[in-house]
Structure 1
């Protein structure tokens, strides 16, 4: 493809970059910056901003490209990553956010120190920084750069340098306030661009004589619009991902507990909420937004299969670039480029700010409690720059992976289980001890890394777990979670009970305590949860 970028489209791209840079820098220019203001936006975020920022920091170029490619290959089954994320966001809003907000923590590792001890805090900080570096920034940079090279002719190196520089400037200077303000804008741009592409795709289907769901299904692989699959139906689609209905419902909650409920890059927006209600409602609002990607990110790939399978062929990663070049006129291509930049920059900004927070708060301030706000912010900024440089170097290795979207979820499957265990049972088990948390994090992380390496062909030469043992990555996450749970409770019952005061402060009184109490007003977050759950059940019935 490699078409030279049109002057009009290039102008739109440049205007967007300059505009988002100005918004990010000016959002905090007139205020004196404190450490709380820099890392947590002064704890003044309203629920719409929290929800939009959660959504934008999650949706990266990997999602835009990878979900379209997955829709082209196997269809809606990959949409489970989006709709089941809504369930994880319900858990964040109802189960975890009350503890996070009331304890006034600045980082998720700090919560582990309050519930367990400083050793668990250190291990989680390390896991979070590695996740930000290798998953949130590195792979997102590579995916975005390749797309821009593919259909705009902009080299990978140029894309990485320009986008990294612009994002770093407003993130490093403005902190979380700049990040969430720009993420709110980018959420709107991202959704608008994806809707426009989907609309042009539907219009093209009509021109091709396809005017109903029945006619669309007749031109698709059997089951390409079904969310829930079996091994047999997935193989009929030509896939081997192992995303069966039970793998999704068992494996994804483990990934979701780590990613949506305990990963600093994501949850930092909740920590910066103005009130507990804003924190909870913002999470549920993001859960509603996560319904959209199936229809505006996965579905375009399905449309691409019908319209352009002769052009795209077996290279499914070309689904999105082909649709953009074939369907969008000049000007809208530039808007779509802005959409891709919005997805890319919001993810990178979120990860950079969380990395700065983890280093400054969980490492530096722990060893030097009397450090001034100015020095703490300066160290956070230096850390963000260092992480960005390392991520830029790592992003050049992106071509070693066959599927980037699947790769990031395989990495998540390796690191999520021990974190999910210590957080979930930390708030639900009165018996969980500090020794149990530390041992579970260490052993679970080592087991996850070993499983990933044995299953990663460039390292092991063969996928020994996925192909050898016939255990796909989602089920690997489940079985690692089960094993980590056994470690957690074995060590817990072999060590002294935790302090009763800590248990009372950081665990629920009983498993259903988070939903107790009468609903006295329509704005009660539990009403929104009920509506969201009914919406998800209805959608699963319609698309299964």
Structure 2
């Protein structure tokens, strides 16, 4: 079935999708006299199924589709821990953090930080969130999507970057968050359907080459390629310590540092919760997204393992080509175009969410604070201009994506400069009322300095050796855990050496007792967020037992 050419039918499908999704976004979101609340938060009218799919789509980008298949080929199902561990972070978002975000009726996460820690922390967070959206959510995503189009259609990746950026920016800038959420619901269906179809064709092809059982499949794979849990050390691991990059230790302790920052505190993600119609919708939406995060292991990582079994001779050492080769080898004309459209759907959903969040942060956390009397219409206009400027800057930055060893490395190493500190001030801040603004700023700044030094020597920006990862042998996931421990120690020490926070900085900002997060009246039965969370934890326990 292999065919290196892309048919006219596939091309038409992709072009029709791009034009169609832009039209849907504009029609769904455009209002002649859009208020800032409608533009940035969809009028706070979203129900939990839409919130859950929006959270899922904002996260699953082309980076994930390409990167998970690539890592499935190279490392195996273990990389799926990045998806399954997200489910636990989404439970934290729904149970622990969302109540405070919703009750305060905030528009941005830095607003919450200002109430808890003061204006200095708010300004710092707003800047960090805009930069992370520009560098990670949009910039690296554009690079990944453009490389896919270059491989698939032969379009120069710079032209792809421009085309994708313009289309996504148009309907996001015009339609606001409602356009983002409506298009996300469509893109979630297309994305999951495309991934499921590719997985299905892969399974059929396995049977065609004589692999008829799980035991046959396991025998054809690398050792441990189908295991989710792996030991700490490996004699073949790089560096003097011999630590395995994705061991159970790295995942258990390192992932939550990145995961809590990303899922519980990042504006691009949490903005969906802020737009909820009710507190219950926001909490349920977060946990529903946790259920959806079960799927990528089977629909995006497993295909990479299948690709290893079927096409390792063609793919060779170029594991980033896994998804492209599988699409070309397994999918018929028409279906291939739908899958390509799914890749674009993933890319655009991530970019649109990041653009809307940067627009919100600039209007609400910078302009509105400097000029409180700015009119509603002016805030919307400023938000739209911001989105346009950010997408141009991200386009310029995205051309540098090739300097990283891999896309996956880029999206996880860059946040090390700030994620451990942010996780510290939110997690300890919501559970430890004694934490104060001095402790928060000290932790954030300390992490920023250490994180930038780490990036400089381990991307590397200086020289050509990754000293921490390759020479010493400390995986980046463990680096995040150690930076979190250091940031936490700084936060606690400085807080104890300085005055306790005022009562108004604690009220409605943190739990007096940790178990208070689980108390309260039942809200429905199966849709009570605590019940949904318990069911999700049970399912995850069963899955980890089966694939340990």
TM-score by length of 2: 0.97
Equivalent position of 1:388 in the other structure = 391
Matched, 1:528 2:532: yes
Matched, 1:258 2:261: yes
Where in structure 1 are there 5+ consecutive unaligned residues?
Answer: none
CA deviations on 1:157-193 (whole Å, 9 max, x unpaired) are: 2211111111000000111111111111111110000
Equivalent position of 1:538 in the other structure = 542
Q: CA deviation at 1:519?
A: 3.9
What secondary structure is seen at the aligned counterpart in 1 of 2:264? Answer: coil
Q: Which moved more, 1:504-513 or 1:303-312?
A: 504-513
Q: Distance in 2 between matches of 1:29 and 1:527?
A: 37
Give the alignment partner of residue 324 of structure 1, picking from 324, 327, 331: 327
Q: Distance in 1 between matches of 2:404 and 2:470?
A: 17
Are residues 198 and 83 of structure 1, via their aligned partners in 2, closer, same or farther at CA, if it must alter by over 3 Å?
same
Q: Distance in 2 between matches of 1:339 and 1:234?
A: 39
What secondary structure is seen at the aligned counterpart in 1 of 2:462? Answer: helix
Q: CA deviation at 1:32?
A: 3.3
Q: CA deviation at 1:345?
A: 0.2
Equivalent position of 1:51 in the other structure = 52
**Root mean square deviation of aligned Cα:** 1.6
Q: Distance in 1 between matches of 2:401 and 2:243?
A: 22
Contact 2:55–2:289 (CA under 8 A) maintained in structure 1: yes
Are residues 375 and 99 of structure 1, via their aligned partners in 2, closer, same or farther at CA, if it must alter by over 3 Å?
same
Q: CA deviation at 1:377?
A: 0.7
What secondary structure is seen at the aligned counterpart in 1 of 2:227? Answer: coil
Equivalent position of 1:482 in the other structure = 485
Are residues 517 and 469 of structure 1, via their aligned partners in 2, closer, same or farther at CA, if it must alter by over 3 Å?
same
Q: CA deviation at 1:518?
A: 5.4
CA deviations on 1:331-378 (whole Å, 9 max, x unpaired) are: 011101110000000000011111111111111110001100111111
Contact 1:2–1:149 (CA under 8 A) maintained in structure 2: no
Equivalent position of 1:491 in the other structure = 494
Contact 2:231–2:244 (CA under 8 A) maintained in structure 1: no
Give the alignment partner of residue 354 of structure 2, picking from 341, 351, 354: 351
Matched, 1:445 2:448: yes
**Aligned positions of 1:144-543 closer than 5 A:** 144-232=145-233, 235=236, 242-517=245-520, 519=522, 521-522=524-525, 523-543=527-547
Q: Distance in 1 between matches of 2:57 and 2:235?
A: 30
Contact 2:418–2:444 (CA under 8 A) maintained in structure 1: no
Q: How many residues align?
A: 543
CA deviations on 1:219-265 (whole Å, 9 max, x unpaired) are: 0011101001114469489x986111011000000101100000001
Contact 1:2–1:150 (CA under 8 A) maintained in structure 2: no
Where in structure 2 are there 5+ consecutive unaligned residues?
Answer: none
TM-score by length of 1: 0.97
Q: CA deviation at 1:426?
A: 1.1
Q: Distance in 1 between matches of 2:121 and 2:4?
A: 50
Q: Distance in 2 between matches of 1:444 and 1:539?
A: 35
CA deviations on 1:410-463 (whole Å, 9 max, x unpaired) are: 112332100001111111111011111112112211211111112123434321
**Aligned positions of 1:96-135 closer than 5 A:** 96-135=97-136
CA deviations on 1:312-346 (whole Å, 9 max, x unpaired) are: 00100010000000000110111011100000000
Q: Which moved more, 1:519-528 or 1:9-18?
A: 519-528
Q: Distance in 1 between matches of 2:220 and 2:201?
A: 18
Contact 2:137–2:354 (CA under 8 A) maintained in structure 1: yes
Contact 1:2–1:153 (CA under 8 A) maintained in structure 2: no
Contact 1:24–1:174 (CA under 8 A) maintained in structure 2: yes
Are residues 130 and 236 of structure 1, via their aligned partners in 2, closer, same or farther at CA, if it must alter by over 3 Å?
closer
Q: Distance in 2 between matches of 1:37 and 1:123?
A: 26
Q: Distance in 2 between matches of 1:49 and 1:518?
A: 24
Q: Distance in 1 between matches of 2:42 and 2:244?
A: 40
What secondary structure is seen at the aligned counterpart in 1 of 2:508? Answer: helix
Q: Distance in 1 between matches of 2:30 and 2:62?
A: 29
Equivalent position of 1:88 in the other structure = 89
Q: CA deviation at 1:468?
A: 3.1
Q: Distance in 2 between matches of 1:150 and 1:240?
A: 34
Q: CA deviation at 1:153?
A: 1.6
Q: List, as ranges, runs of 4+ consecutive aligned residues in structure 1 with deviation greater than 6 Å.
A: none
What secondary structure is seen at the aligned counterpart in 1 of 2:327? Answer: helix
Q: Distance in 2 between matches of 1:37 and 1:268?
A: 13
Contact 1:43–1:274 (CA under 8 A) maintained in structure 2: yes
Q: CA deviation at 1:50?
A: 0.3
Q: Which moved more, 1:433-442 or 1:1-10?
A: 1-10
Contact 2:358–2:387 (CA under 8 A) maintained in structure 1: yes
Are residues 170 and 457 of structure 1, via their aligned partners in 2, closer, same or farther at CA, if it must alter by over 3 Å?
same
Q: Distance in 2 between matches of 1:312 and 1:216?
A: 18
Q: CA deviation at 1:2?
A: 10
Q: Distance in 1 between matches of 2:110 and 2:244?
A: 33
